[in-house]
Chains A and B, each alone.
Chain A
Amino acid sequence: MQIETMAMAGTLESSDVQVTVEPGTAGIELRLESSVMNQYGRAIQKTVLDTLKRLGVSSARVQVVDQGALDCTIRARVECAVFRSAGISDKNIPWGGVVQ
């Protein structure tokens, strides 16, 4: 998928993660902040990158502000931000397809 415009999903509440995606030029440029950086920074990075790859996003600026979200929440927020950026987050989501 193409990142068309800037889009955001998630909140800064505890156990949540806020993901912002913007069009980029040089592959995936990820900026990650996390309240559990020392224990889970690498795991969060992997989840974000894997999810973007699954969605076919090859170029984007991505900012992730994590407040200790579980993996399933991270995936949900990344997907929502990407679908919002493409303006197609409201219907006909490929549940079980690239979203899984």
Chain B
Amino acid sequence: MIPRPRPERFRLRRTMMFMNAQRPGLIKDAYIYGVDSIMLDLEDAVAENQKDAARFSLYHALKHIDYGDTEVIVRINGLDTPHWQEDVRVCVAGGADGVRIAKCESADDVRRIEEHVLAAEKEFGVEEGRTLLMAALESPKGILNAREICQASERMLGVAISGGDFRKSMHVRTERSGIEINTARSLMLLAAREAGIQCFDTVFTSLDDEEGFRAEVELDHAMGFDGKSLINPRQIAYVHKTFAPTEKEIATAELYVRSYEEQSKRGVGVYTVNGKMVDIPFIEDAQRVIALAKACGVYHGDL
């Protein structure tokens, strides 16, 4: 049995890769590709009459496979199905790091899952509060309730938009520009940043459209997402590359942090670096860039 450390609510989650929890060949070593989080799927990938088998498979995978530093999150079936309660039990019993709530539409949905998670933690002797939550927003209602959803629980690590269902509910198809979904992305991002949790974009499903994928990853990064859901390991490298700070960004951040350390020793509040006025928010952002660079493995300085 492989004991997993207590999950961190805030950690690097540039990439979350979906894996069918029912397919032993897939889940046995999904971590080798260097993905930040694995999303073992009990929902859409699993046929209705195999939900039970998928749970047994998931339980043993969680207990016996050494996923190392890779985060393991489980996507459970929606609240409108007969499956989600047992899904929650197996996630908690197996020691999953987090549960992704499918088709989440309100803070009440989050709290309902949270109650069951807590009950399961008690039932299986798991440390209370250990299991994290994230919500997938898949409908106009979910998007418009993003604020209350993001603030619904101390367990919430982030929210993600689920493009397939969202587009269906909006009567639109995938557009190259993202015009059909960008408002929803923005609303969700605002809500997540307000609540201080992370925010993830939906999957890009046309595996052969490399150019389209890259454009979307760049858009996600520019909009301020923390990461993206993926369907294939081939997509990981480009996301990690795009989300890592550039050498120039790192150098600037270093300069800000160092100058701040010097200035604050002398008791100065606001000052200029290379002719640019610098204050506390700049420094916080610079510190975030350094932390991200470290997490991405691209920082080689001594801060």
Contact = CB atoms under 8 A, between A and B. Distances in A.
A39 B54 CA distance: 27
Contacts of B93: 95-96
B24 A80 contact: no
B86 A91 contact: yes
B141 interface: no
Interface in B2-33: 23-25, 28
Interface string A67-93: 001111101110110011000011111
B60 interface: yes
Interface in A34-88: 69-73, 75-77, 79-80, 83-84
Contact of A15 (B28, B60, B61, B89): B28
B28 A80 contact: no
Interface bracket on A: 20 to 34
Contacts of A71: 64
Contacts of A91: 85-86
A22 B116 CA distance: 35
A79 B24 contact: no
A72 B64 contact: yes
A95 B90 contact: yes
A92 B53 contact: no
B25 A95 contact: no
Given A10-B53, A80-B56, A15 B124 contact: no
Contact of B25 (A16, A75, A90, A92): A16
Nearest to B29: A70
Interface residues of B, number: 24
A14 B82 CA distance: 30
Counting chain A CB atoms within 10 Å of each CB, which of B24, B94, B124 scores highest?
B24
B124 A96 contact: yes
A95 B94 contact: yes
Interface of A: 9-10, 13-16, 69-73, 75-77, 79-80, 83-84, 89-93, 95-96, 99-100
Given A16-B25, A76-B57, A96-B93, 19 more contacts: A10-B53, A16-B24, A70-B24, A72-B60, A72-B63, A73-B60, A75-B60, A76-B53, A76-B56, A76-B59, A77-B53, A77-B57, A92-B86, A92-B89, A93-B55, A93-B56, A95-B89, A95-B124, A99-B59
Interface of B: 23-25, 28, 51-53, 55-57, 59-61, 63-65, 82, 85-86, 89-90, 93-94, 124
20 contacts: A10-B53, A13-B24, A13-B25, A69-B24, A72-B60, A72-B63, A75-B60, A76-B56, A80-B56, A83-B52, A90-B52, A91-B86, A93-B56, A93-B86, A93-B89, A93-B90, A95-B90, A95-B93, A99-B56, A99-B59
